[in-house]
């Protein structure tokens, strides 16, 4: 590292540390003064200031330190630098403008990127979400907000959800990711079921909607190790939308369709810990229907959706128990 840079760096680190340590909330005062719209942790703020300071000319930095950190009178700073008070005042004003520019532009974007990377994980993490199949375990997750990737699995029920969607890009936390995913699923699959076709999520080609068992789905549309065992065991067909052109695939079971309905999402908000009961085939309104039902683990409450067995259109929604 060149000596000059090292000196600059240590001086600026001194500035930031004394700035943030001598006066509590000093860094935030600085940010307030500049009216910056930042949502940063103190550590990030210190790093941001530190880097912004290294980019300023040395004289500007000296003036800022002497005035804003050491609280030296203008006349004293002017005497030390061998210049006039008005020259120091002008340098101070320009210095603050320059610092503000640095803080509001490139460095802030870089920090936003750091924050995204900090919420990226390639190892399974514990999430606050409960498995809605068994209601006994919290889901483990992997995520990459930059790519819109979200994987969720229950340690007992096998892999639960694999998603790679533009709609998830930039969302960091597991709860907001799930909320976004559920809303997206409802829009996408309900559009698909209503129209019988829907655009591919990746290449935009119009694709037909299929109802099929897991073994009927083309092999290229599954990442084998991610096929949950319960998909194989389910007695109901999945909704499957597969693109032969770009090999993108969206497959979902009936109970996910139920839980991502607006009523299902609201039930999960009230009762985050539910389990899925076995589906039942009945006759309703003269047609074959499938009943999917969920019950709260912690309260006496159930959520039931009746689907048409052929079209998977919703025939009825029932919510029982305390609200």
Among 16, 46, 129, 133, binds Zn ion (CB under 5 A): 133
Nearer to Zn ion, 145 or 228 (CB): 228
> Are the CB atoms for 61 and 11 separated by under 8 Å?
yes
Reference 249, options 239, 259, 257; nearest CA is: 239
Among 166, 246, 316, 320, binds Zn ion (CB under 5 A): 246
Size of the chain, expressed as the number of residues it contains: 323
Give yes or no for residue 243 binding Zn ion (CB under 5 A). yes
Nearer to Zn ion, 113 or 203 (CB): 203
Among 150, 159, 200, 257, binds Zn ion (CB under 5 A): 200
- Residue 323, both tokens: 């609200």
Give yes or no for residue 154 binding Zn ion (CB under 5 A). yes
CA distance 259 to 267: 8
Give yes or no for residue 49 binding Zn ion (CB under 5 A). no
In whole angstroms, how large is the CA radius of gyration of the chain? 29
Using the contact rule CB under 5 A, the part of the chain among 202-210, 262-270, 286-294, 304-312 near Zn ion is: 202-210
Nearer to Zn ion, 14 or 124 (CB): 124
Question: DSSP secondary-structure letter at 65?
Answer: I
Among 78, 88, 99, 131, binds Zn ion (CB under 5 A): 131
Residue by residue, DSSP assigns 129-155 as EEPTTTSSSEEEEEEETTTTEEEEEET
Give yes or no for residue 309 binding Zn ion (CB under 5 A). no
CA 189 to chain centre: 21
Strand partners, 138: 130
Give yes or no for residue 297 binding Zn ion (CB under 5 A). no
Using the contact rule CB under 5 A, the part of the chain among 5-13, 194-202, 267-275, 285-293 near Zn ion is: 194-202
Q: What are phi and psi of 198, to 5 degrees?
A: -160, 150
Q: Which residues bind Zn ion (CB under 5 A)?
A: 131, 133-134, 137, 154, 156-157, 200, 202-203, 243, 245-246, 248
């Amino acid at each position: 590292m060149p000596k000059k840079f090292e000196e600059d760096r240590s001086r600026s680190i001194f500035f930031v540390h004394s700035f943030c340590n001598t006066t509590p909330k000093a860094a935030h005062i600085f940010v307030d003064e500049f009216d910056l719209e930042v949502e940063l942790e103190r550590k990030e703020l210190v790093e941001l200031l530190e880097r912004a300071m290294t980019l300023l000319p040395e004289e500007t930095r000296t003036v800022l330190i002497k005035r804003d950190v050491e609280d030296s009178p203008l006349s004293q700073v002017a005497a030390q630098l061998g210049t006039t008070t008005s020259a120091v005042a002008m340098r101070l004003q320009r210095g603050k403008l320059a610092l503000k520019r640095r803080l509001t532009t490139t460095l802030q974007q870089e920090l936003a990127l750091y924050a995204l990377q900090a919420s990226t994980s390639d190892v399974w993490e514990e999430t606050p979400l409960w498995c809605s199949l068994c209601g006994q375990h919290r889901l483990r997750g992997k995520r990459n907000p930059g790519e819109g990737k979200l994987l969720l699995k229950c340690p007992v029920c096998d892999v639960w959800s694999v998603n790679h969607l533009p709609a998830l890009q930039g969302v960091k936390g597991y709860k907001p990711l799930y909320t976004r995913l559920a809303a997206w699923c409802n829009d996408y699959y309900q559009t698909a079921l209503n129209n019988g076709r829907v655009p591919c999520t990746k290449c935009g080609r119009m694709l037909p909607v299929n109802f099929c068992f897991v073994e009927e789905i083309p092999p290229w549309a599954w990442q084998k190790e991610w096929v949950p065992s319960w998909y194989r065991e389910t007695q109901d067909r999945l909704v499957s939308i597969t693109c032969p052109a770009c090999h993108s695939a969206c497959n979902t079971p009936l109970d996910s369709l139920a839980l991502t309905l607006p009523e299902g999402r609201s039930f999960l908000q009230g009762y985050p810990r539910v389990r899925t009961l076995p589906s039942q085939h009945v006759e309703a309104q003269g047609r074959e229907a499938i009943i999917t039902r969920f019950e709260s683990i912690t309260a006496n409450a159930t959520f039931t959706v009746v689907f048409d067995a052929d079209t998977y259109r919703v025939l009825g929604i029932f919510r029982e128990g305390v609200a």
